[in-house]
Amino acid sequence: MAELPDLGRHCSLSSCNQLDYTPFLCNSCEKFYCGKHRFIHGCSNEDRQISDEDAKKNPMKIFLCSAENCNNKEVLRIECTYCQLNFCLNHKNPEGHHCKCMPIVKEKETLLPQAVIDRINQDEKEKKKVDDSKISNKKIKILTEKERLKLEKIETMKLKMRNSKIGIPEGEKFVVFLTTPDQKIRGAVVSKNWMFGRCIDEFIKQNPDIKIDIKNTKFISELGEELNFSDSLKVIFPNSVGRFTYQ
């Protein structure tokens, strides 16, 4: 290091005198030492006592913690931003001393512009239309005569099981079958002396799983004729069984 003769200092300890490029200054004797003798160099000023007179002139100020049931002291003032009181390191945060002056932070509500909300609603409507279209366009298997008779037989067995609860005189009982748009068969026992409107009311009562908007629904006979609520069952269903559908 001949090019840099002024770099570093020699250790002030006479028995060492080693050149140290990063010397340490002792705050007591104000001399430089190498890393090895930074703290151990027999410093004559290390245990120097402060006189009573100096202590009285510059007394050390102690700050007590304002937290409840805390007696901790700090040599530095640690003030709360909100309540302006002093606290120790353990209670310096507003949450740590349950600060009553800390403002309540409310969760920010996310408000979308009305145009965005309208667009979202419109997209939902369009999606529903597409879904409904997929359902309506789904290919439905048309029942054969054999399949229809089999399903009607099953429905007849179900009707016999609940026959005692219907309350229609035995001589008036008449069975009607409804074929739903998805080719399901549902049956009901009605009176052959009723009008078609009362027949529909009883049919829905016996088949609560069938949801029909009567006011906006057209009922069609197996011959393709539209049925009126005022029609007599004896007229529209001359055979022993009545069959109809709706749309």
Which regions of the chain does DSSP assign to beta strands (E)? Answer: 9-10, 19-20, 24-25, 32-33, 63-64, 73-74, 173-179, 185-191, 219-221, 226-227, 241-246
Token pair of 128, please? 């529903």
Lowest mean pLDDT: which of 124-133, 170-179, 200-209, 238-247? Answer: 124-133
Contact (CB, 8 A) for 186 and 177: yes
Q: What is the mean pLDDT of the chain?
A: 80
Q: Of all residues in the chain, what percent carry a pLDDT higher than 70?
A: 79
pLDDT of residue 47: 54
Per-residue pLDDT of 56-80, as tens digits, reads 666 667 888 989 888 888 888 889 9
What are the helix and strand counts (H, E) for the chain?
5, 11
- Higher confidence at residue 2 or residue 37? 37
Token digits of residue 180: 């739903």
Confidence of residue 121 (pLDDT cuts 50, 70, 90): confident
Class of residue 85 by CB neighbours under 10 A (exposed 0-12, middle 13-18, buried 19+) = middle
The reported pLDDT for the residue numbered 1 is 46
pLDDT for residue 206: 87
pLDDT at position 194? 92
pLDDT digits (tens, 9 = 90+) for 136-161: 555 556 677 788 788 888 887 777 76
Neighbours of 164 (CB within 10 A): 7
Q: What is the dihedral of CA 32, 37, 41, 46, to 10 degrees?
A: 70
Least Cα distance to 158 among 134, 132, 188, 135 occurs for 188
Gap between the Cα atoms of 153 and 150, Å rounded:
5
Read off the pLDDT band of 131 (50, 70, 90). low
Give the pLDDT confidence of 186-223 residue by residue, as tens digits.
888 888 999 999 999 988 888 888 888 888 889 998 88
Q: What is the pLDDT of residue 136?
A: 53
CA 83/CA 226 separation, integer angstroms? 83
> Do the strands 173-179 and 241-246 form a parallel or antiparallel pair, or are they unpaired?
parallel
Task: Specify whether the CB–CB gap between 99 and 79 falls below 8 A.
Answer: no
Quote the distance between the C-alpha of residue 149 and its chain's center: 50
Q: Is the pLDDT of residue 49 over 60?
A: no
Number of Cβ within 10 Å of residue 193's Cβ equals 14
**Which are the contacts of 103, defined by CB distance < 8 A and separation ≥ 6?**
82
